Each structure stands twice: as structure tokens, then as C-alpha cells.
Amino acid sequence: MITTIYEIAKHVGVSPATVSRALSGKGYVRKELREKILQVAKEMDYHPNTLARSLVTGQSFIIGLVLPDITNPFFPAIARGVEDVAHRNGYNVILCNTDGSARKEADYLGLLRSKRVDGVIFTTSQVVTRHVRQLVDSDIPVVLADRRMNVDCDFVVVDSIEGAYKATSHLIGLGHSAIGLITGPQKVTTGAERIEGYSRALRDHHIVMRDELICEGDYKENSGYRHTKKLLGLSSRPTAIFACNDLMAMGALAALEEKGIRVPEEVAVVGYDDIPFASVIRPRLTTVVQPKYEIGSIACEILLERMKDRDKPRQEVFLKPNLMIRESSVILEVKEALSD
């Protein structure tokens, strides 16, 4: 049998209301009585039924975290950031893997609404904003993480234009002018923005952009592999490749190795994200570091604030990416020279 405040009340000889007050710490209750109640509650292994509590208070202390796929090495750190902040504030988080499918997104969002979560942190891969807009309209707080959308709600993202600009400039600084670009899907904001950063960097350095050097990937390893092969087949092939995430950079490295092309001596490679193994593969991958944990933790903090105050002005957080230079772009001697 599961203990309720009624049983505790009976046991102690008071009313359920008093037990509730004692347990929640709200409202007056004589000190010794409170202690007695607390003790009995512990003895009876009482665990408050938050379902019942939520029903009356309107707070579930659950937040939803909707992302494409937790096995994608980019997301665990975000999830951890979210969960840490949530837990520290008494919230639990429901994890949803959408695989970027609009159907699953809608599905999960519906489930979360039914579960009366207090808020949602959402990383979409869709342009379809309908579900999200519905969610926002339904007045459950939402914060978009990592990827923006054209919806009126808070978000925290990393400045992808700047990240791509840094990566591209780095390669240009190394003397490259034929830089292959393997982008992400153009429909997600990060995809479009990284092209923008790439093209600005070229422009600022008076390098003409060559369309045949630009391929649209899908953030998966295989598309990095495929597009690299294609780029290598070009009559005037690139001397550097900038893959817009590390997974695709991995694919690029695999394609290059297969062709026996040395990295970085013959072709330099730069990735994006700094997923855990970027630093342990060989050659170690030069990449744009995203503050993944912070994306999650800050998103959650903003969500908590939003839950407290629905009327505060919309928050738009742009975090800064950093270029981490490693072996895949810089020949060792050069790197040492640079650091002098």
C-alpha cells in the first residue's frame, strides 16, 4: 500500500491539511507537531504524490527536452547541461529523440503537452514551425536550443556565421584559396549561417567563391565521405576542406585516407562542433568548438526564468564559437612557428 497524507494524518491524529502544511513547509504548524509528522512520514516511507500535487498547483516540475538523437555525439553534452540545471532546480527532464522527423516532433510535443510539462527545450531539424508555434501559442514556455526558428520565443544558439568565418579565415591564412565546403542542410539555421560565414571570409580576403566547391551535406558522416570524393574528382581540386560538422569531417578524412592523400600536407581539413573524438582521431581534427554544455545549461536557465515571468522580453542568446587548431589543418612545423 502506498502511503498518503490521510494515513499519516490518522496515525498522528491530525487532519490531512495539517500534514500537508507540515510536509510542504507552507502555512503554520506547531513546531513539535511538524517534527512528529515529519518523523511519521519517514517511518511510513511516505513519498508525496506529485501527480496529485501538480493537478492542483498546475506545476509538474518536468521539462521536456526534444532533440534529434542522443547517440549523435553532439547532443549528450547539451542534454547534460539541461539536466544539471533542471535537477538543481527541482525539475526532471523527459528525453525525446525525434530523428529530425516532423512526425515524431509533433508526436512528442503533443505527449509533452499532455504530461503538462512546465516547459520545453527544443532542438529541431525542421523548418516546419507549426508544432512549435502551436506549443508557444498554447502558452507553455519553450526555448529553442542550438537552432533557431522563425517563431517568437527565447533561444540560445552559437553564432554559426562567426564560427564558419573563423574556420575559413584560418584556412585562408594558411595559404588556401580553393576551399571545399561541405555544408549542413540548408533548411536549418546553422546550415545556412555557416555558408554565410564561409562566403564572408572569402569575400573579405578577396577570394572568388567557386560554386563547384560547395556541397550540401546532411551532418552525417557518410555525406562528408561522398562529397569529399566528389570534390577530389574536380579538375582543379580544393587544397582544403571545411566540413560543417565533425561527423562529416570524419567522413572527409576517411575519403582522403582511402585515396592516400595526406592530411594536412596535401589537403587540410577543418570540422565543426568539437565532438569528443575530434581530439583523439589522427590527425587530430581542427574544429570550431561549440560550448555544448552551455547551450543546454543556459537554455534551461532561460526556460526557468521564462516560467517565472511570461512577460519578460524575449531572450536571444548568441554564444561564441572558438577555433581549436589541431593537426588536420596545420603541418606541425608550421604550427610551432605560429606559436612563437
Site for a copy of itself in 256-295 (CB under 8 A): 276-277, 280-282
Contact string 16-55 vs a copy of itself (x = CB under 8 A): -----------------------------x-xxxxxx-xx
**Interaction of residue 2 with DNA, rule CB under 7 A:** yes
How many whole angstroms separate alpha carbon 211 and alpha carbon 133? 35
**DSSP state for residue 328 in the 8-state scheme:** T
How many residues make contact with a copy of itself (CB under 8 A)?
47
How many whole angstroms separate alpha carbon 251 and alpha carbon 231? 13
In the bound state with a copy of itself, the residue whose beta carbon lies nearer, of 208 and 280, is 280
Query: By CB under 7 A, which span of 23-31, 189-197, 240-248, 273-281 interacts with DNA?
Result: 23-31
**DSSP state for residue 181 in the 8-state scheme:** E
Backbone angles phi, psi at 83, to 5 degrees: -65, -40
CA angle 187, 294, 248 (to 5 degrees): 45
**Interaction of residue 220 with a copy of itself, rule CB under 8 A:** no
DSSP string, 8-63: HHHHHTS-HHHHHHHHH--S---HHHHHHHHHHHHHTT----HHHHHHHHS---EE
Rule CB under 8 A: choose which of 5, 29, 41, 60 binds a copy of itself.
60
Q: List the single partner that 4 binds among DNA, a copy of itself, none, CB under 5 to 8 Å by kind.
A: DNA
**Interaction of residue 10 with a copy of itself, rule CB under 8 A:** no
Rule CB under 7 A: choose which of 35, 43, 52, 196 binds DNA.
52
In sequence order, what are the residues at sequence separation of 6 or more whose Cβ sits closer than 8 angstroms to the Cβ of residue 114? none
Closest by alpha carbon to 78, among 92, 88, 68? 68
**DSSP state for residue 277 in the 8-state scheme:** G
How many whole angstroms separate alpha carbon 238 and alpha carbon 179? 5
**Interaction of residue 20 with DNA, rule CB under 7 A:** yes
Contact string 223-252 vs a copy of itself (x = CB under 8 A): ---------------------------x--
Q: List the single partner that 185 binds among DNA, a copy of itself, none, CB under 5 to 8 Å by kind.
A: none
Q: Which amino acid is at 51?
A: L
**Interaction of residue 77 with a copy of itself, rule CB under 8 A:** yes
Alpha-carbon Rg for the chain in angstroms: 26
How many whole angstroms separate alpha carbon 220 and alpha carbon 283? 20
Query: By CB under 7 A, which span of 5-13, 74-82, 149-157, 159-167 interacts with DNA?
Result: 5-13
Smallest distance from the beta carbon of 340 to a copy of itself, in angstroms? 23
Going 316 to 156 to 184 to 253, the CA torsion angle's sign is: positive
Rule CB under 7 A: choose which of 57, 92, 186, 279 binds DNA.
57
Q: List the single partner that 23 binds among a copy of itself, DNA, none, CB under 5 to 8 Å by kind.
A: DNA
Please give the residue ranges that form the binding site for a copy of itself (CB under 8 A): 2, 45, 47-52, 54-55, 60, 62, 65, 69-71, 73, 75-77, 79-80, 83-84, 87, 92-97, 108, 110-116, 134, 138, 250, 276-277, 280-282
